[in-house]
Amino acid sequence: MHPIASKPLAAALFAAVVAAAGPAAGEPHHYRARYDASLLGFPIGQAAFESRFDGARFEVTGSFASAGLARIFDRTEGSVTAKGALAPAAPKPERFSLDYRNGDKRQTTEIRFADGRVAATENDPPPKPRGDDWIAVAGAELRRAVDPLSAMLVRADAPDAVCGRTLRVYDGQTRVDFVLDAATGRDRLDAGAVTCRARFVPVSGYRKGRSAIAFLRDRARILVAFAPLGETGVYSPVEAAIGTEIGTVRVRARSITRVD
């Protein structure tokens, strides 16, 4: 997959796009989802997720891996977990973990949350020393920030309320905002879903002059389609199109089924 700001961020955002959501209240529910990713029509990735909801508690666990030609040139696989509570306005994550392997390299990230902000971050191996061109993450930028999986648990009272919000995402290294606006006309993806245009706004935790960052900020066309999951009031991503310097990455739901 084409890098966004870092290999872990690319993996986490791929997982976020394909995370299935669930109900915020009532009896326990369990959902299973499978997604495929492609670039220029060629398969590049697959993912499988298990989502469990018990009252206002949620836990999403999943795995993802490169596929097709991408696996020949860039062997990538990993697992990801997020857990916490679904508040009325936005999710309140408590813990996020990412175990990411790219060839012979392995990266693990653990993020803990408390009182509406990032409380601690652990990266193994730790980041290398940064140069003067590195934009460091400030403490204030971690307030109300959530992990990539939790960010995609969108609660809305009606379809027209899904977009018109900003997702403050932190992956353990990089802080970005995704500003969602309603898409119109030919920008719409799945006909039965709500399509949002996403504007990528880098905040911190990246190197100045990075071409991938500049492309996503200034030129990328990013669309995410959300569909309601039953009568839960929670909307889940079912399709996405993400412009990169080498083409558009497309992610589509192969299946989303209720297990119980």
Q: Looking at the domain assignment, is residue 218 inside a domain?
A: yes
Q: Looking at the domain assignment, is residue 1 inside a domain?
A: no
Whole-number mean pLDDT of the chain? Answer: 85
Q: Looking at the domain assignment, is residue 2 inside a domain?
A: no
* Residue 123 to residue 61: CA distance in whole angstroms: 19
Q: Looking at the domain assignment, is residue 186 inside a domain?
A: yes
Structure confidence at residue 48 (pLDDT): 92
Q: Looking at the domain assignment, is residue 222 inside a domain?
A: yes
Give pTM, 2 decimals.
Answer: 0.86
* Residue 240 to residue 45: CA distance in whole angstroms: 13
Question: Which of 127-136, 141-150, 247-256 shows the lowest mean pLDDT across its residues?
Answer: 247-256
What's the rounded mean pLDDT across residues 37-61?
88
What are the tokens at 60? 């999403």
In the predicted structure, residue 16 carries a pLDDT above the cut 80: no
Number of domains in the chain: 1
DSSP 129: P
What is the residue range of 25's domain?
7-258
Structure confidence at residue 185 (pLDDT): 75
String of DSSP letters for 163-195: SSEEEEEE-SS-EEEEEEEE--GGG--STTSEE
How does pLDDT run across 198-220, given as a tens digit for each residue? Answer: 999 999 999 999 998 999 999 99
Which one, of 41, 102, 99, lies nearest residue 71 by Cα? 102
What's the rounded mean pLDDT across residues 225-234?
75
Query: What's the half-sphere exposure (Cβ side, CA atoms, 13 Å) at 135?
Result: 15
* Residue 33 to residue 45: CA distance in whole angstroms: 14
